Amino acid sequence: MKRPALALALASLAASPAAAATWVVQPAQSTLGFSAEQTGTPFTGTFTQWTADITYDPAHPAAAHVKITIATASAKTGDTQRDTALPDPDWFNTAAFPQATFESTGFTPEGGTAFQTTGTLTIRGISQPLTLPFTLTLTGTQAVAKGQITLQRTNFGIGQGDWSTGDYVSLTTGVNFTLTASEAGK
């Protein structure tokens, strides 16, 4: 009687997927950027401080987990006036909301290197569901994920008062990223 129970327990352990690997982002090869228009002129910017917690097993993409934490005060565009305004209450309100986050569970393969993940983006304390398309290329123990998406900034309360219309700054904002990561311990 004990042998069948032991065999069943061992078989269930063998059928369980291995724990997903932890991936460590390489900041020097990674970027998190944004783009918009101000009075009809395009501009770009980057967040210079952010972290990513990533677990992923290529054999089990549905078990992936990603959490990106962004220091909103680190937004830089290269324009002194704009960079001084971004932390203000009308924009990111970094005193009240020092971080933005994106958290998702599961990658859905879309063919080749194309994937998507659905998660929650939180900016200024406002959380919205978000489906994020991206490409993922694995080479040995290194992974490179790239993607871009367009957001409606007012859905997150970005641009208050006179800035709540698209008269001066476009209502849509592009977000793009390149994440280069190495499998931890390898």
* Domain presence at residue 57: yes
Tell me whether residue 2 is in a domain: no
pTM, to two decimals: 0.87
Between CA 166 and CA 66 the distance in angstroms is: 32
CATH number, domain at 158? Answer: 2.40.128.110
Residue-range definition of the domain harbouring residue 93: 19-183
Alpha carbon separation from 87 to 53, 69, 153 (Å, rounded): 25, 16, 15
Q: Does residue 111 fall inside a structural domain? A: yes
Question: Where does the pLDDT of residue 14 fall: very low under 50, low under 70, confident under 90, or very high at 90 and above?
Answer: very low
**Predicted confidence (pLDDT) at residue 170 exceeds the cutoff of 50:** yes
Helix ranges (DSSP H) in the chain:
2-15, 80-85
Please report whether residue 37 resides in a domain.
Answer: yes
What is the tens place of the pLDDT at every residue in 108-135? 999 999 999 999 999 999 999 999 999 9
Q: Is residue 4 part of a domain?
A: no
Is residue 115 one of the residues assigned to a domain? yes
Closest CA to 90 of 124, 131, 121, 42: 124
Within-domain flag for 11:
no
Tally of structural domains, the chain: 1
| Residue 169 included in any domain | yes
